[in-house]
Amino acid sequence: MLEKAEPVLDSAQPVRDPVAIVYSVSHDIWHSDNAAAFVEKRLLWHALRHLHVQPDFLREEEIEGGRLKDYKLLFLADACLTRASSAKIDQWVRDGGVLYMSAGAATRDEFYQPCVPPFAEDVWSADAAARLKIESHTYNERTDLPTLRPLTTVRVHLPGAQESFELPVLGGMLPLKAEGIEPIARFADSSPAGAMMNYGRGKVIALGFLPMLAYGQGAGFKPITLEEKWPEPPRRLLRFALDVGRVTPIAQCDHPVVETSLLSGRAGSILLLANYTYHPIQSLVIDLRLDHPVRRAVSTEGVKAQLERTQTGVRLRLPLQWTDAVVLEN
């Protein structure tokens, strides 16, 4: 596959969606013995890829350097965050960005001092750092995560949704302020577990739990075999955030849990596909938003790839067993 794709792949670069995940080195320094936020970020990455989003990780110094201007939606799971990057995030949300936070995010600064930035003051209490409950485990999908007992449960009812859904609360929890919010989720004791707040021209989505740990546990990983089945409900939270942020993936297909990665360069574009459903798909449909014409689509697996133009780019149809690299010739 690589040999057939090399003429295009050689000069191609990943095409990113306007979505980023904060990777805080400050959090690394102070939480090297607790893996909850690390695994939450990793599983968040997987869940976004399962929704066909191509996100970036942003370090604090990149945020401080002005990189947020390139993004519509920002995910934050780390408790510790430099005050300088918090200030940049604050202004970015005020200017129209959408921030998604999970339990304990942005409750301490780079010196581990309790610090709730202005963008979080409507959802976290001033003593949020002290109220945050975190359990210490490895949260490994193939060892302890499948059998962890939940701290409690949470019921989520997203705005506009007809049905609610329940998730186990794993790893950590932090109740939200009870006053001035309309909860989109509640813990088993009915305390607020999630809310969406207006902040300037932007929005803050705050969750007092770690939904991606529930995503990993619900997948039912086995120790040495590929049998996991990623559950749909936790992805609804991310889909909700994407809709609020008005993010449409640049390479989107009609099957969840199939990763779509678009790379472009001077010789054309290439679409990398990975099927993590572990079941062959007879007809996969992928919509690509492109600003340049495509003359032909060639599957390096040798299957027939049908190509049709759309108002925003092209649509591909092809069978997918496990992986493929589809060359899009200019």
Average the pLDDT over 139-159 and give the result.
96
d(CA 67, CA 49): 21
Q: Which CATH superfamily is domain 2-13+250-329 in?
A: Golgi alpha-mannosidase II (2.60.40.1180)
Q: Closest Cα to residue 226, out of 282, 171, 274? A: 274
Average the pLDDT over 165-180 and give the result.
93
Average the pLDDT over 175-185 and give the result.
90
User: Which residues, other chains included, contact 17 with Cβ-Cβ below 8 Å and sequence gap of 6+?
Assistant: 53, 54, 55, 247, 249, 250
Domain boundaries in the chain?
2-13+250-329, 18-244
Average the pLDDT over 226-249 and give the result.
97
Task: Kindly report the number of other CB atoms within 10 A of residue 23's CB atom.
Answer: 17
Residue type for 241, please? A
Residue 255 has pLDDT above 80, yes or no: yes
Question: pTM for the complete prediction?
Answer: 0.96
d(CA 228, CA 94): 40
- Which pLDDT does position 156 carry in this prediction? 98
Confidence band of 222 (pLDDT split at 50, 70, 90): very high
Hey, do 2-13+250-329 and 18-244 end up sharing a CATH topology, with the first three levels equal? no
CA angle 103, 144, 107 (to 5 degrees): 15
* Paired tokens of 275: 């099927």
User: Which residues, other chains included, contact 205 with Cβ-Cβ below 8 Å and sequence gap of 6+?
Assistant: 98, 99, 100, 101, 194, 195, 196, 240, 241, 244
Residue 10 has pLDDT above 90, yes or no: no
The domain 18-244 having CATH identifier 3.40.50.880: the answer here is yes
Residue 205 has pLDDT above 80, yes or no: yes
Residue 71 has pLDDT above 90, yes or no: yes
